[in-house]
Structure 1
Amino acid sequence: MTDSEIYDWDSKIGEEADEGGFVILPAGEYPFEVTGIERGRYDGNPQKGTKPCPRAIVSIRIHGGDLGSTTIKERINLNKRSAWKIKEFFVSIGLIDAAAKEFVPNWSGSVGCHGICMLKKYQFDGRDGDIVDANDVKKFLPPATGATSTESTPAAPAFSFPAGA
Structure 2
Amino acid sequence: MSEFEKELGWDDVIEKESDFTLLPAGDYDFTITGFERARYEGGEKLPPCNKAVVSIHIDAPEGSTTIQHNLFLHSKCEGMLSAFFIGIGQKKHGEPLRMNWNNVIGAKGRCKVYIDTWKNKNGEEMQSNRIKKFYEPSPAQTVSQAPASSQAGVFTPGKF
Shorter chain as denominator, the TM-score bin is: 0.7 to 0.9
Q: What is the SS of the residue equivalent to 1:87? A: helix
Corresponding position: 1:78 with 2:76: no
User: 2 CA distance for matches of 1:37 and 1:145?
Assistant: 25
Q: Over aligned residues, Cα RMSD in angstroms? A: 2.6
Q: What is the SS of the residue equivalent to 2:141? A: coil
Deviates more, 1:85-94 or 1:124-133: 124-133
Identity over aligned residues, as a percent? 33
Matched ranges for 1:11-22 at <5 A: 17=16, 20-22=18-20
Deviations 1:64-88 (A, max 9, x none): 2x20111111111101011011111
Deviations 1:4-62 (A, max 9, x none): 82234498978xx25x23111111100110011101011112x32x2211111111102
The count of corresponding residues between Structure 1 and Structure 2 is 145
Q: What is the aligned partner in structure 2 of residue 2 from structure 1?
A: 2
Task: Extract unaligned runs of 5+ from structure 1.
Answer: 153-165
* AA in 2 matched with 1:118: K
Q: 1:22–1:2: structure 2 CA closer, same or farther, 3 Å change rule?
A: same
Corresponding position: 1:53 with 2:59: no
Q: What is the aligned partner in structure 2 of residue 158 from structure 1?
A: none
* AA in 2 matched with 1:55: K
Q: What is the aligned partner in structure 1 of residue 101 from structure 2?
A: 107
Q: What is the SS of the residue equivalent to 2:139? A: coil
* AA in 1 matched with 2:31: E
Q: What is the aligned partner in structure 1 of residue 137 from structure 2?
A: 143
Compute the TM-score of the two structures, normalised by the length of structure 1.
0.77
User: 1 CA distance for matches of 2:37 and 2:49?
Assistant: 11
Corresponding position: 1:130 with 2:139: no
User: 1 CA distance for matches of 2:39 and 2:56?
Assistant: 19
Is this contact kept in 2: 1:36–1:111, CA < 8 A? yes
Q: What is the aligned partner in structure 2 of residue 157 from structure 1?
A: none
User: 2 CA distance for matches of 1:85 and 1:125?
Assistant: 26
Task: Extract unaligned runs of 5+ from structure 2.
Answer: 147-160
User: 2 CA distance for matches of 1:144 and 1:11?
Assistant: 48
Compute the TM-score of the two structures, normalised by the length of structure 2.
0.79
* AA in 1 matched with 2:80: K
Q: What is the SS of the residue equivalent to 1:143? A: coil
Q: 1:95–1:25: structure 2 CA closer, same or farther, 3 Å change rule?
A: same
Q: What is the aligned partner in structure 2 of residue 156 from structure 1?
A: none
Q: What is the SS of the residue equivalent to 1:38? A: strand
